[in-house]
Amino acid sequence: MAAQYAYLAIWLLGMFGIIGIVVGAVAKFAIQDTLSHDEQFVWRRKLPAEALKRK
């Protein structure tokens, strides 16, 4: 029975490790995402200066 608990613990650690890596990668992407990147690669245009001002 102890061997089954050991396998379960290893699988759970692996699963949460993979989930942690994915969450970390998505968080890094969201933090580094900028309006200038979106203008250049997504919209393929420049916004007017009035639209860039934050209120």
Domains of the chain by residue range? 2-52
pLDDT top residue among 52 and 12: 12
Tokens read off for 3: 């061997």
pTM beyond 0.95: the answer is no
Task: For residue 52, name the pLDDT band (cuts at 50, 70, 90).
Answer: low
Taking residues 15-30, report their average pLDDT.
96
In angstroms, the CA 40 to CA 37 distance is 5
Residues 23-49 pLDDT 10s:
999 999 888 877 777 777 777 777 677
**CB-side neighbour CA atoms (13 Å) of 41:** 6
Question: What does the pLDDT read at residue 18?
Answer: 98
